[in-house]
Amino acid sequence: MTEPTGHMIIAGEAVAGSGATIRAVDPSTGAALEPPFGYGDAGDVERACAAAAAAFGPYRRTTPVRRAEFLERVADNIEALGDALVERAHAESGLPVARLTGERGRTTGQLRMFAKLLRDGDVEVPRIDPALPDRTPPRPDIRQRWVPLGPVAVFGASNFPLAFSVAGGDTASALAAGCPVVVKGHDAHPGTSELVARAIADAVAASGLPAGTFSLLFGHGPDLGTKLVTDPRIRAVGFTGSRTGGLALVAAAQARPRPIPVYAEMSSVNPVFPLPGALAERGAEIAAGFVGSLTLGAGQFCTNPGVVVAVDGPALRAFANAAASAVAACEPSTMLTPGIADAYRRGVAALAAHPSVEVLAQGVEHDRPAACRPALVATDADAFVADEALREEVFGGCSVLVRCRDAEQVRAVAAAMEGQLTATVHAAESDHAEAAELLDVLELTAGRVLFDGWPTGVEVGHAMVHGGPFPSTSDPRTTSVGTLAVERFLRPVAYQDVPTALLPSAVADGNPDGLLRRIDGRPGRH
Amino acid sequence: MTEPTGHMIIAGEAVAGSGATIRAVDPSTGAALEPPFGYGDAGDVERACAAAAAAFGPYRRTTPVRRAEFLERVADNIEALGDALVERAHAESGLPVARLTGERGRTTGQLRMFAKLLRDGDVEVPRIDPALPDRTPPRPDIRQRWVPLGPVAVFGASNFPLAFSVAGGDTASALAAGCPVVVKGHDAHPGTSELVARAIADAVAASGLPAGTFSLLFGHGPDLGTKLVTDPRIRAVGFTGSRTGGLALVAAAQARPRPIPVYAEMSSVNPVFPLPGALAERGAEIAAGFVGSLTLGAGQFCTNPGVVVAVDGPALRAFANAAASAVAACEPSTMLTPGIADAYRRGVAALAAHPSVEVLAQGVEHDRPAACRPALVATDADAFVADEALREEVFGGCSVLVRCRDAEQVRAVAAAMEGQLTATVHAAESDHAEAAELLDVLELTAGRVLFDGWPTGVEVGHAMVHGGPFPSTSDPRTTSVGTLAVERFLRPVAYQDVPTALLPSAVADGNPDGLLRRIDGRPGRH
C-alpha cells in the first residue's frame, strides 16, 4: 500500500482515531491533503503501551542478528514505497524532492548502520572480572552486560519527516537496543508517518516479532503526548523539537512515580566564529558558504547557523556586506507549515524592533503565507551578552552578526552562550593560537566543534555527536545521531557467580557472540 | 596533622564555619566529641564553587598520568594518617576498627584503581571516522572524545565514613574524569571528613594543582546542600543516602535554569530468593549466611538483604526456624547515630504492628539508645504485593520473609518490586529451570543479580554495577562503584575537520596517548 489511509498503526493493526480530525497541509499551496486522520485517545495509548510491554520480553531476547535482519527489512520496505513516499513527504512538508530523496537514503542508511552494529557485535562492551578464589577474601566471578530499558516513546520532528521521524534515528537506535517503540507522529506529515509505520509493521510481521514491537499514534501533544510519557510501561523518551515541547516532556517524565530519561534535542543557535586571518584571506568565500548554510532547507535545521561572532573591522565589514548582498538576493522558500512561517516572521520582527539591532538584509519580498525571507541582522557584543532575547533561536533562516572589540570579547561571548549542538570556527594558519583558546571554550559549550565548514549536514557515523549541553539537549551525555545513540536505551547489569548454564551469551565463557569484551579491564575479542 | 581542628577546607584553606555548631557523637557512649565544627554559609559555598570553577580549566587539561599521580598521593596521604584516622572514624561511627581498617583499604584501593585506569588510558574510548574526500558528498574528518562535565558536588554518606564519603567512590571517579570536587561532609563524622579532606588538599598542593580542585564544606543539608546543588558552576552531583534526601537533590537540580545530572544511590531492600531445591539441600547453611549478611555492620549497608521471597512449605519453615533462632541470639549492635537507631526501631515497630505481619524473632533485648536488635518478620505474598508499606526499606538489620504459594507467585512478587541495587538467588542444580525464569525478571529489576552468595560486600572492579532502576538510584544507566563510574562525569564531543595542530591528544593522529580507540567503528590501540 503506497497511499495513506488515515490510520494509526497499533501493534500491527490499522486503527482509526476517534478524536479530533486533522489533515496535512501542503505548505506551498495551503491546500488540505486527503485523507483525514483522527487523533487517538487514552485507550489507544493504553493499547499501544500494553502491546509494547508484552513485546518487550520476547523482543529483547531476540539475537542481535535477528534484530539486524529486522532493521534491514524496515529499510528495504521503506525503499519499496518508492516515489510515493517521497512525493507524499514533499506534499506535506514543502521540502524539495531531491532533499527528501537524500533524507530517505539517510534514514535507510541509519537503519542499516545499526543492523551492522548488531552484526558486528558492537552494541555493547561487556565486562568480566573472573573469580579469584585464592584471594583473601575470595573474589566472586562478576560479569557485566547491558540490558534494554524497556518500551521507548519517540516523538517525530517536523523538520525531518523521514530521518528524525517514525523510522528515524531515535526509533532505529531504540529498536537496535532491544526496546519496543511507540511513536507519536508529527501532525505536519501524518501521511508520510503512516506509510513508514506500515513499512515497519510489515517488517515486524515478516520477522516473526511480537506485533507490539512497534506502534504509531497521532494526537494532541500536551494531551496524548503526556499520556504516553507518563504511562508506567514507557521507560525512555526520544524527542526532537522545540524547547517548550521538550521541557514539558522532561517535566512530565520527572513527575512520574518512577522517573525516566528523556532525550530531547531542543534548541541551538549554532554560533560561527570567523577569525581575523580567515576573514582577511577568504572573507567572500566564507560569506557565500555561510548564506548557503543559513538558507538551506529554508533554514529549518537544528544546526542552522543563527549567530556569527567576530572582531569588528574592515574584514568583518566586507564579510557582512557580501553576506547581506547574498541574503538580499534570496528568493522566498516555503517553510514546513504556515505556523512555523508565522513564528519565524514574528521572531525576525522582534529582533528588527530591538533597539540594539540593525537589519543588514532580508530576502526578496513576497506574499506567500507559508514562505520566509532569510534575514541577517547585527548587534554588538555587549548588547548580545546583556540581553538573552538576542541569543534565542529563531527557527528558520535568520542569523545575528555579533560584533566584538577584540579576541577576548569573542571568547567572552562564546562563554556566555548556552549549550549548543554545534560551534563552527573559520581559521587561517595565522589564527591557530587564537583558535586553540577558543576551542577550549567551545568544547565545553557544544556537542560538535567544526572548522572551516558549515554545521548543517550532520554526518551519520561512529564519531558523530548530535547533542550538547542544555538547552541544546536535555541530556548532554549522549547523541541522537550515530552509533553511540544506542547506548541511550541500555543500562548495565552485573551477574555475580551466576551458574554457567544460566549466563546470558554476551558474558558467557568462550565469547559465543564474538563481542569485544573487557576481561579484568583488558579489552579484546575474548 | 592527625587531629581534626573543627574546620572546613576550602580550596586548600582551613575555614571556620560561622553558622550553627555541631559536634560528632560517639554512638556507643552518647558522648559529644571535640572539636566543635561550625556550619558553612552561602559565602562558603560561593567561595568553594568559584575556586572549583577556576580550577576546572587547568585541572581538566592535566595529563591522565598527572591525575593518576595525584590520586595515588591522596591514597598515600590517607594511609599516612595511620591509626588516628581509623580511631576517629570508630569514635564517630561506632563501626568496629577492623571494619574501618578494611574500609580504608577499599578507599585507597579505589583511588589507585582509578589511577591505574588513567595510566592504562582506559577512561574513555575515543572514536575517529577519517575523512573520505572521494565520497559524494565528501565525508569530513570526525573525531570524538569525552570531556569532563565540570565541578561536581559530592554528598558524603553516613554508613561508609571513608569509602562513600570525602575521598570515596564519587570523589575518586569525578577527580579521575577531570572534574574538581566540592564535598558536603556528613554531620555524623566531621572529624573523619576533615582529616581526609586535609589528605586530599595536601595532595592537591603537592601535585601543583589549582587549590580549588577540592573543597570540603559542612552545613545543613536542605540549606547548604541545596545552595551547593543549585550553584550554576556545579555540573553534576553524587549522593549516597536516603530516598528523601536524594529526591530533594534531584528536584533542586532539575529546577535549575540549566538542569544537571544527579547520581543518587538511595533505597533498596535487596530481595533474596532461596529456591526449593536449595532450601531442601542446604537450608540451614543459607539461614546462617542470611543472618550473617542481615546483621553485618548492624545492617547498615545499602545492600542489606531486607526481603526473603520463597515458596512456603516444610523446607521454608525449617529455614525460617533456623534464621529466627540465629536472630534471637544476636547481641545488640551500635548503630551509626542515635537518630538512625530511633528510625530503625520505629520501622520495626510499624512492621510488627501491621495486621498481616508476624514477628518471627528479634535479637537480645537491651537499653542502649544507639543500639539495635535485628528483626525477622513474615508475611504472605498477597499482603506484600498489596501494601507498599511492607516493601519499604527499614535501614538496619530487619528483614521480611514473604511466603508464596508457588514459583509463579515468587516471580510475581519479584516483578511487583521497585528497582533494586541487588537481587540474590539461591539455587540447586534442580532449580535451574526456575532460576532462569526468575533471572529474566530480576535482571530488569536490579543492578546486580547474584547467586548462592550475599549482597553485602560490594566488590570494586571493572564489572561491578552498584546501581539499579529507580528508586535504588536516580539514574539506572550507570554505577557508583567500579571503573565504569567515571563515565558519569563525562560527555562526548565531536571534532570535525579540526586542524591537526589543534586536535586534543586523545584523538590525535598516531594515538600519542596509547588509548583504545574506534577507527570507523573498529576497536584497537590505533
Query: Measuring CA to CA, how many Å separate A434 from each of A308, A408, A440, A441, B494?
Result: 17, 9, 10, 11, 20
Query: Measuring CA to CA, how many Å separate B406 from each of B356, B409, B410, B429, B498?
Result: 19, 5, 7, 19, 63
- Taking an 8 Å cut-off on Cβ atoms, the answer to whether A117 and B521 are in contact is yes
A387 and A254 in a common domain: no
Residue B132 domain flag: yes
Residue B353 domain flag: yes
The answer to whether A460 faces chain B, any CB pair under 8 Å, is no
Both ends of chain A: CA-CA distance in Å? 47
- Taking an 8 Å cut-off on Cβ atoms, the answer to whether B474 and A259 are in contact is yes
Helices and strands in chain A, H and E counts:
14, 25
- The residue in chain A having the minimum alpha-carbon distance to the alpha carbon of residue B429 is A499
Does A302 participate in catalysis according to the annotation?
yes
Out of B69, B72, B103, B265, which one is annotated catalytic?
B265
Interface test with B, best of A103, A422, A502 (most B CBs within 10 A): A502
- Taking an 8 Å cut-off on Cβ atoms, the answer to whether A523 and B516 are in contact is yes
Q: How many domains does chain A have?
A: 2
Between positions 191 and 220 of A, the ones with CB within 8 A of B are none
The answer to whether B498 faces chain A, any CB pair under 8 Å, is yes
Residue A108 domain flag: yes
Q: Could you tell me how many residues make up chain A? A: 526
- B252 vs chain A: nearest CA distance in angstroms? 12
- Taking an 8 Å cut-off on Cβ atoms, the answer to whether B502 and A452 are in contact is no
Instruction: Kindly tell me if the per-residue pLDDT of A2 is higher than 90.
Output: no
Out of A69, A92, A194, A265, which one is annotated catalytic?
A265
- Taking an 8 Å cut-off on Cβ atoms, the answer to whether A129 and B461 are in contact is yes
Helices marked H in B129-242? 169-177, 190-206, 226-230
- Taking an 8 Å cut-off on Cβ atoms, the answer to whether B449 and A516 are in contact is no
Q: Is residue B210 helix, strand or coil?
A: coil
Q: Is residue A214 helix, strand or coil?
A: strand
Between positions 233 and 262 of A, the ones with CB within 8 A of B are 250, 254, 258-259, 261
What's the pLDDT tens digit per position in A457-466? 899 999 999 9
List chain B pLDDT tens, one digit each, 526 residues.
689 999 999 999 999 999 999 999 999 999 999 999 999 999 999 999 999 999 999 999 999 999 999 999 999 999 999 999 999 999 999 999 999 999 999 999 999 999 999 999 999 999 999 999 999 899 999 999 999 999 999 999 999 999 999 999 999 999 999 999 999 999 999 999 999 999 999 999 999 999 999 999 999 988 999 999 999 999 999 999 999 999 999 999 999 999 999 999 998 999 999 999 999 999 999 999 999 999 999 999 999 999 999 999 999 999 999 999 999 999 999 999 889 999 999 999 999 999 999 999 999 999 888 889 999 999 999 999 999 999 999 999 999 999 999 999 999 999 999 999 999 999 999 999 999 999 999 999 999 999 999 999 899 999 999 999 999 999 999 999 999 999 999 999 999 999 999 999 999 999 999 999 999 999 999 9
pLDDT of residue B96: 93
B438 and B321 in a common domain: yes
The answer to whether A413 faces chain B, any CB pair under 8 Å, is no
Interface test with B, best of A136, A498, A515 (most B CBs within 10 A): A498
pLDDT of residue A61: 97
**What is the C-alpha to C-alpha distance for residues B213 and B518, in angstroms, rounded to an integer?**
31
Residues of A in contact with B491 (CB under 8 A): 447, 467, 469, 476-478
**What is the C-alpha to C-alpha distance for residues A518 and B253, in angstroms, rounded to an integer?**
34
Q: Report which residue type is found at B488.
A: R
**What is the C-alpha to C-alpha distance for residues A344 and B367, in angstroms, rounded to an integer?**
73
> pLDDT band at A164, cuts 50/70/90?
very high
B288 and B262 in a common domain: no
The distance of Cα A328 from the centroid of its chain, to the nearest Å, equals 31
Determine contact, residues B337/B370, Cβ cutoff 8 Å.
yes
Determine contact, residues B374/B341, Cβ cutoff 8 Å.
no
Place of cell 507524499: A88
Query: For chain A, what is the mean pLDDT?
Result: 96
B189 and B56 in a common domain: yes
- A3 vs chain B: nearest CA distance in angstroms? 32
DSSP H/E element including B411: helix B407-416
Spatial CA neighbour of B474 closest among A261, A9, A475, A468: A261
The answer to whether A142 faces chain B, any CB pair under 8 Å, is yes
Query: Measuring CA to CA, how many Å separate A49 from each of A211, A225, A226, A227, A230?
Result: 12, 13, 13, 10, 11
Residues of A in contact with B435 (CB under 8 A): 499, 502
pLDDT of residue B369: 83
pLDDT of residue B2: 85
- Taking an 8 Å cut-off on Cβ atoms, the answer to whether B117 and A484 are in contact is no
Residue A299 domain flag: yes
Q: Report which residue type is found at B85.
A: L
pLDDT of residue A221: 86
**What is the C-alpha to C-alpha distance for residues B291 and B362, in angstroms, rounded to an integer?**
12
The answer to whether B228 faces chain A, any CB pair under 8 Å, is no
Interface test with A, best of B99, B117, B152, B462 (most A CBs within 10 A): B462
Residues of A in contact with B436 (CB under 8 A): 502
**What is the C-alpha to C-alpha distance for residues B325 and B347, in angstroms, rounded to an integer?**
21
A316 and A175 in a common domain: no
B237 and B376 in a common domain: no
Cell of B135: 565520497
Determine contact, residues A166/A203, Cβ cutoff 8 Å.
no
Residue B2 domain flag: no
Residues of B in contact with A478 (CB under 8 A): 491-492
**What is the C-alpha to C-alpha distance for residues A376 and A360, in angstroms, rounded to an integer?**
5
A258 vs B128, B464, B470: nearest CB: B470
Spatial neighbors of B244 by CB under 8 A, at least 6 apart, are none
* CATH number of the domain to which B353 belongs: 3.40.309.10
- Taking an 8 Å cut-off on Cβ atoms, the answer to whether B140 and A432 are in contact is no
- B359 vs chain A: nearest CA distance in angstroms? 31
- Taking an 8 Å cut-off on Cβ atoms, the answer to whether A432 and B490 are in contact is no
The answer to whether A501 faces chain B, any CB pair under 8 Å, is yes
Q: Report which residue type is found at A410.
A: V
pLDDT of residue B421: 98
Q: What is the DSSP letter of A398?
A: E
What's the pLDDT tens digit per position in A484-503? 999 999 999 999 999 999 99
**What is the C-alpha to C-alpha distance for residues A443 and A457, in angstroms, rounded to an integer?**
19
B155 and B98 in a common domain: yes
Instruction: Kindly tell me if the per-residue pLDDT of A1 is higher than 80.
Output: no
Q: Is residue B159 helix, strand or coil?
A: coil
B197 and B344 in a common domain: no
A322 and A235 in a common domain: no
Buried b (16+ CB within 10 A) or exposed e, B29-44: eeeebeeebbbbbeeb
B465 vs A57, A140, A492: nearest CB: A492
Residues of A in contact with B479 (CB under 8 A): 492, 494
Which residue range(s) make up the domain with A359? Answer: 271-451
B259 vs A448, A470, A483: nearest CB: A470
- Taking an 8 Å cut-off on Cβ atoms, the answer to whether B492 and A501 are in contact is no
Spatial neighbors of A346 by CB under 8 A, at least 6 apart, are none
Q: Beta partners for A321?
A: none
Determine contact, residues A429/A396, Cβ cutoff 8 Å.
no
Residues of B in contact with A139 (CB under 8 A): 459, 461
Spatial neighbors of A501 by CB under 8 A, at least 6 apart, are B432
Residue A517 domain flag: no
Residue A356 domain flag: yes
Residues of B in contact with A463 (CB under 8 A): 127-129, 142-144, 494, 518
**Residue B82 φ/ψ, nearest 5 degrees:** 60, -150
Q: Is residue B11 helix, strand or coil?
A: coil
B390 and B432 in a common domain: yes
pLDDT of residue B432: 97
- B360 vs chain A: nearest CA distance in angstroms? 30
The distance of Cα B381 from the centroid of its chain, to the nearest Å, equals 30
* CATH number of the domain to which B117 belongs: 3.40.605.10
Both ends of chain B: CA-CA distance in Å? 47
Does B265 participate in catalysis according to the annotation?
yes
Spatial CA neighbour of A290 closest among A315, A263, A271: A271
A354 and A331 in a common domain: yes
Determine contact, residues B246/B262, Cβ cutoff 8 Å.
yes
**What is the C-alpha to C-alpha distance for residues B350 and B133, in angstroms, rounded to an integer?**
71
**What is the C-alpha to C-alpha distance for residues B416 and B136, in angstroms, rounded to an integer?**
54
A51 and A79 in a common domain: yes
Q: What is the DSSP letter of B404?
A: E
The answer to whether B445 faces chain A, any CB pair under 8 Å, is no
Interface test with A, best of B272, B444, B515, B520 (most A CBs within 10 A): B444
Residues of B in contact with A494 (CB under 8 A): 447-449, 463-465, 479
Residues of A in contact with B130 (CB under 8 A): none
Spatial neighbors of A172 by CB under 8 A, at least 6 apart, are A71, A110, A111, A114
DSSP string, B102-117: HHHHHHHHHHHHHHHH
Residues of B in contact with A516 (CB under 8 A): 523
Residues of B in contact with A444 (CB under 8 A): 147, 150
**What is the C-alpha to C-alpha distance for residues B526 and B470, in angstroms, rounded to an integer?**
39
Q: What is the crossing angle of helices B64-80 and B190-206, to 10°?
A: 140
Out of B302, B372, B398, B404, which one is annotated catalytic?
B302
Instruction: Kindly tell me if the per-residue pLDDT of A368 is higher than 90.
Output: no
pLDDT of residue B367: 87
Is the omega angle on the peptide bond into residue B137 within 30 degrees of 0, that is, cis?
A: yes
Phi-psi region of A520 (alpha: psi -120 to 50; beta: other; left: phi over 0): left
- The residue in chain A having the minimum alpha-carbon distance to the alpha carbon of residue B418 is A258
pLDDT of residue A94: 92
Residue A331 domain flag: yes
- B169 vs chain A: nearest CA distance in angstroms? 18
